[in-house]
Amino acid sequence: MNGQTKKLMWGLGISDEDANVIQHAAGGRFALSCFPIGVTPTVDQLETDEPCLLWISKQGWDTLKTLPSSDTAHIDVTSRILIMGGDYDLAELESLLECGFTEIIKPPITKERARDVLLSAVETQNLYQDIMHMTREICLEREMLERKNDMLSFIVSFLEKVTQHLDPAEILRAAQTELKTLLPVSAINAICWSPQVSENVHATIYVAGSEKNDVARAWTEMLKTHAQRLLGDGVVSTDMNYMGTVKTEILPSSDTLLAIDLEHGGANFGVVLVQCHEHPQLGKDQIQILRSAISHLTLGLNNAMLYTAAQHNADIDGLTRLYNRRHFDARIVEENTRHRRYGHSLCLMIADIDNFKNINDTYGHLAGDDVLKDLSRILESSLRTSDYIARFGGEEFAVLLPCTSASHATMLAERIRIQIEEHSFVTDKGILNVTASIGVACIDHTHEESPVEIIRRADAALYQAKDSGKNQMSILYPDKSLLVAGGYAT
C-alpha cells in the first residue's frame, strides 16, 4: 500500500470525539484520515490512499447525496460505516440499509463497538478480496480455456480440410483458406514429388495464379531453387498446375515468405511457400498451432503424393515410362469429345517396329527392351509437349496429335519414320538398325464416330503399310481412301 505499513481509513464529516475513539480502537494497525463536511475525496486520492474503510456521519452522507453521482461514484467501492446521529424512523433506516453500508451504528461510539465494527469490516473486505482474486483466476482460466478451445477448433477444421482430399492442389487450396485465420496469408505455392523417389525426380509445381506469366515464372524459379536445395540435381522434369487461388497476381517477397520443407519418414518430398502480405506477429500459442497445422499439412500432402504416384504408376508402362494402353483408352475418349465439341482436328498415329520378333529371337529380349526404350525417346524428342504418347501394345506406340491436320500428321509420321530408320539403336548386343511402319487416321467431323473407329482406321492404315513392304507411312482417310508413302521393304 504505497510503502505504508498501516492500513488507512477515511472519515467523512465525523466528529473529533468519534475520530479519537475510532483511532484508539484501531490501534497501531490502522491510521485514520478525516475530511470535513462538504469536502469529498477525489479519485486520485482514492487511488493513492487505497482506504480499507470509510467512516461517514449522517450529516456527511446527506451532503454527499446532494452532489452529482459522477462526483461520488468512486466512494461506493469502499466498505462504508454510517454513524447515525439524531432522530430517524424505521423507513429511513431501511432506505439507508439499501445504500450499501456495511453497518449502521448510533453514537456515542465506544471503543469496544468501534473495534467490533472495524474487525467485521476488515473481515468482510478480506473476504471480498478473496472473492475478487478467485474471480480473476476464474476469468483467466476461462480465457485460457476459450483460447485452447479456439486452437482445438482450428486444428480440427484444418485437419478435416487437408485430409478429405487426395488431390494436392485441393489440399493447398484448403490450406490457404484455413491459414488465413492464423496468418496474413496472400498466396500458397508449392513443389511436390513422390516421397518414394529421390533421384530422377518428376515434380509437380503448384502455382497460386491461374495462367502462365511472369509472376508464375518467378514462383516456378523460386520453387525449383528450393527443390534443388533439398535434392541437388535430382529434379529432372516438372509439370505445372495453375490453381487459381488468388484474384490478383502476387510476386514472391522474401521478407514475408514462410518456406516449409515437406518431410515424412526421413524423406523430403517438396516445399510449400506461404506468402504473407505483412510480417506475421505470432505468439507462443500461435506458433504451437502453426506447427501442428504444418504437421497435418505435411501428412495430407504425403498421402496425396503417394496416391498420385500410385495412380501415375498404374498409368505408366514400366519399361518405356510412357503412358500405357489403359491410360490411352481413357485419353482418346476425352480428346475425341473435346475436339469434336470445338470443331478442331485430331489425328492418331500408331507406329509398329518392323520384324520385332526377329530382334527378340536373334538378340534376346534385353536387346528388344533396349530398342523399345530408345524408340520411346525418339518419339518424345520429336513431338510437341501437347502431343500424347502411349505404349499401345508390345512393340506398338500410339500418338495423339491435337489440333493437327491430316497433311501435317502425315509429314510428321514420315519424318519420325526416317528418324527411326537412320537411328543407331544401342543394345547389349551392339548397334542394331531398326525400321517402323506407321498408320495414321484423323477424326471425321461429318458424322459421329467413336474413338474405336479412329483406332480401327489407324490400325488398318498401319497394316496396309506393313502389307506394302514395311518401313512405310500410311494414312486412311474417313472416306476410306488410302495414302501409302515411305521407304523400302525390310
Q: Which residues are catalytic?
A: 395
Name the strands in the sheet holding 235-242, side by side, starting at the edge strand that comes first in the sequence: 235-242, 201-207, 185-192, 267-276, 257-264
Pick from 126, 106, 312: nearest CA to 202 = 312
> What are the φ and ψ backbone dihedral angles of 438, each rounded to 5 degrees?
-130, 130
Contact between 421 and 490 (Cβ < 8 Å): no
Place of cell 506407321: 438
- As a whole number of angstroms, the distance between CA 487 and CA 50 comes to 110
Other CB atoms within 10 A of residue 270 CB: 28
The one-letter amino acid at 68: P
Contact between 220 and 240 (Cβ < 8 Å): yes
Cell of 213: 506469366
Other CB atoms within 10 A of residue 295 CB: 13
Q: For the CA atoms of the chain, what is the radius of gyration?
A: 44
- As a whole number of angstroms, the distance between CA 47 and CA 302 comes to 61
- As a whole number of angstroms, the distance between CA 428 and CA 382 comes to 25
> What are the φ and ψ backbone dihedral angles of 389, each rounded to 5 degrees?
-120, 140
- As a whole number of angstroms, the distance between CA 358 and CA 69 comes to 111
